Amino acid sequence: MTLNTYRPTQSSNYWLVALKLLILILGLCLSALILGKVFTWVFAVAFFLIRFIVVIVVSFIVIHFFLKLLFNIDLLKFVLGERFVRR
């Protein structure tokens, strides 16, 4: 008793594998081109925001340090109020 199952010939199987590999390579190249542009902008914006936040925080810490050292003014208590400062 034989089963009627379709088995492609060996030569058509090679062409199908080659076609799948070609589609995979073209898809990877296309995604690399598109994602390269997208991630360039995403990383540029993220780097700018991180740099901006670091500059603001460091300048606040330096101003707080010098005001506390020179004039005994607590900038943290002045900006945030009494409820955020532990006693």
In a domain? residue 18? yes
pLDDT at 74: 84
In a domain? residue 3? no
In a domain? residue 4? no
- For 5, list phi and psi in degrees, rounded to 5: -115, 140
In a domain? residue 52? yes
Q: Which alpha helices (DSSP H) does the chain contain, by range? A: 10-71, 75-80
Residue that the structure tokens 């300048």 belong to: 59
> Cβ distance 67 to 73 under 8 Å?
yes
pLDDT at 48: 96
Domains: count for the chain:
1
pLDDT at 79: 80
In a domain? residue 87? no
DSSP, collapsed to helix, strand or coil, labels residue 83 as coil
Q: Domain range spanning residue 15?
A: 10-80
Mean pLDDT per block of 10 residues along the chain (87 residues) reads: 63 83 96 93 95 96 91 82 64
In a domain? residue 69? yes
pLDDT at 71: 87
- Give the angle subtended at the CA of 18 by the CAs of 14 and 19, to the nearest 5°: 115
pLDDT at 15: 85
